Structure 1
Amino acid sequence: MRIAFTASERPEAQEGRARMVKRYGETPFEEAEVIVALGGDGFMLECFHDHMALGLPIYGMNRGSVGFLMNDYSEVGLLERIAAAEKAVIHPLRMTATDVEGKTHVALAINEVSLLRQTRQAAKLRISIDGKLRLGELACDGALVSTPAGSTAYNLSAHGPIIPLDARVLALTPISAFRPRRWRGALLAHTAKVTFEILEASKRPVSAVADNIEVRDVLDVHIAEDREVSLHMLFDEGRSLEERVIAEQFSA
């Protein structure tokens, strides 16, 4: 099996990578069959963004903090674990944002696209779904659109719903909504096209963030699932991402 190893900057991740390379050898990314990423969830997302063009499956090993997207770290039996691994296919969100200077920015998000206020004043957002106005004004700290894979991350912290991977829906979740105070968000079909318009943009500036890619001072943001891009995560047998998402709903 031709494996390319990569690791975050954390000392334990770099040490783990060195041990793995010594034990299993190393293949350049362009010639590999699979990428083994050592780090935490944030590094896993970075790895997908950095190597998306290769289309290789990624098997993560936890040498970070949270590790929800990672497998347990062990130097033993790596080839057997990868061969028996269960695959999760993720379709990212495509964000198209226009800033106050008229520039268009495009980025992909595996977890979520977030809109966040930049100053002490609340953001004011107008929300349309598939071209139809659904919420004329949302005063809030921000809002986000999450994939099923990202529903247990920032979305969950913002009190959004956990979504099974095969549900074919997206979560639209407000962040500290002020008005309408009782609005808790919505579940949307995975085919939905979400548009945010920033109201009073000069007075209440807003940034748009696709995973770790930030665009500041945006005027409008369009978000839709990109079905033409498929990302493949590998998980140990019996510990699939689907199982983890279900288990998370019953955790204390």
Structure 2
Amino acid sequence: MATVLIVYNACKPEAARRAQETAQWLQAAGYGVVLADQPTASRWSQPPDPNLALVITLGGDGTLLTGAAIAAPAGVPLLGVHMGRFGFIAQVVPDQLIDALQRWQSGDYQVQERLMAQARVEGEVRVSFALNEITLLRTPTAPMLNFTIRVNDLLLTTYPADGSLVATPTGSTAYALSVGAPVVHPQAEVLILAPISPHTLGARPLVLPPNARISIEIRCEATNEPNAQAIMTTDGRRHQTLGMGQIVHITTAPFRTKLLSFNEGEFFEKLRDRLLWGARVNE
């Protein structure tokens, strides 16, 4: 029996209610169902069922990112239901969910394959994955840090800053947007390298090809503080503490997030409606 995983934001009563209603509909349609709140699902390292056919998320983009971490490695499609504040990635609103599931059953949908990034700290085996971005950021008590960037083992630059991030096209409208990186169509195949609060006018975001191998070394040249630390986060969820001199290697992940899509122009609609693209706000 094919199984559907429903991940929901338990802090939103409406999301929990919709999750129960959707589970009942799917069970009546002959599917097995696994229900999980976001904190529970975020702790899983493997899919909860070997016959997983679809992952549904009910909440904001944070809930969807949790679902992507489960769906993408398993090659399973993901349907995001927007029940948050901004919801730039989610594809449908709650009232469209049952119709979307019926279209999924009949094959009347498109799949958007979204590039993901992966990070590994040099000397370690563990690999972290992100649909939006991988961020290296100084801790609140650390002084300004220095980030030495190499691409394909070739030196690019060293800049003093609070941090550095590597974003995917999907992530170009998330944290990367706040640090001045360009908006990139989510189905483009690129990586975006951007400094966070650099103390120089010469450090700017850079768009790189998907086969780029980015290495970022962290040091503290301003004070040579040996105990200074940085934090690596993937999609703002998984955190790892880094010491001075450590190097993080970032590349494209070997799999993609497969988003169910029912509206080819939805990205441009979101640019207009949620980022007010081209709007003259003084009129």
Contact persistence 1:162–1:245 (CA under 8 A): no
Unpaired runs of 5+ residues, structure 2, are 34-48
Contact persistence 1:117–1:205 (CA under 8 A): yes
Give the 5 Å matches for 1:136-151: 137-151=158-172
Offset of 1:230 from its aligned partner?
2.4
C-alpha distance in 2 between matches for 1:150 and 1:96? 19
Q: Which amino acid aligns with 2:277?
A: F
C-alpha distance in 1 between matches for 2:110 and 2:276? 21
Q: Which residue in 2 is equivalent to 1:156?
A: 177
SS in 2 for 1:168: coil
Q: Which residue in 1 is equivalent to 2:18?
A: 16
C-alpha distance in 2 between matches for 1:251 and 1:15? 37
The CA deviation string for residues 31-81 of structure 1, in whole angstroms up to 9 with x for no partner, is 342222111101111112134443210111112222111121115423334
Contact persistence 2:142–2:229 (CA under 8 A): no
Match of 2:188 among 147, 151, 167: 167
Q: Which residue in 2 is equivalent to 1:41?
A: 61
Match of 1:27 among 24, 27, 32: 32
Matched, 1:199 2:204: no
Match of 2:248 among 192, 200, 221: 221
Q: Which residue in 2 is equivalent to 1:129?
A: 151
SS in 1 for 2:177: helix
Contact persistence 1:164–1:246 (CA under 8 A): no
C-alpha distance in 2 between matches for 1:37 and 1:54? 16
C-alpha distance in 2 between matches for 1:169 and 1:176? 22
188 and 81 in structure 1: CA distance in 2 versus 1, 3 angstrom threshold: same
TM-score, scaled relative to structure 1: 0.86
Matched, 1:79 2:81: no
Identity of aligned residues (%): 24
Q: Which residue in 1 is equivalent to 2:113?
A: 89
More displaced 10-residue stretch of structure 1: 166-175 or 18-27: 18-27
TM-score, scaled relative to structure 2: 0.78
Q: Which residue in 2 is equivalent to 1:57?
A: 77
The CA deviation string for residues 162-203 of structure 1, in whole angstroms up to 9 with x for no partner, is 11234322111111111x234222111111111111113725
5 and 166 in structure 1: CA distance in 2 versus 1, 3 angstrom threshold: closer
Contact persistence 2:117–2:168 (CA under 8 A): yes
C-alpha distance in 2 between matches for 1:58 and 1:86? 11
C-alpha distance in 2 between matches for 1:168 and 1:40? 25
Offset of 1:155 from its aligned partner?
0.4
Q: Which residue in 2 is equivalent to 1:4?
A: 5
C-alpha distance in 1 between matches for 2:149 and 2:64? 31
Unpaired runs of 5+ residues, structure 1, are none
Q: Which amino acid aligns with 1:183?
A: A
Q: Which amino acid aligns with 1:206?
A: A
Contact persistence 2:119–2:248 (CA under 8 A): yes
Q: Which amino acid aligns with 2:150?
A: S
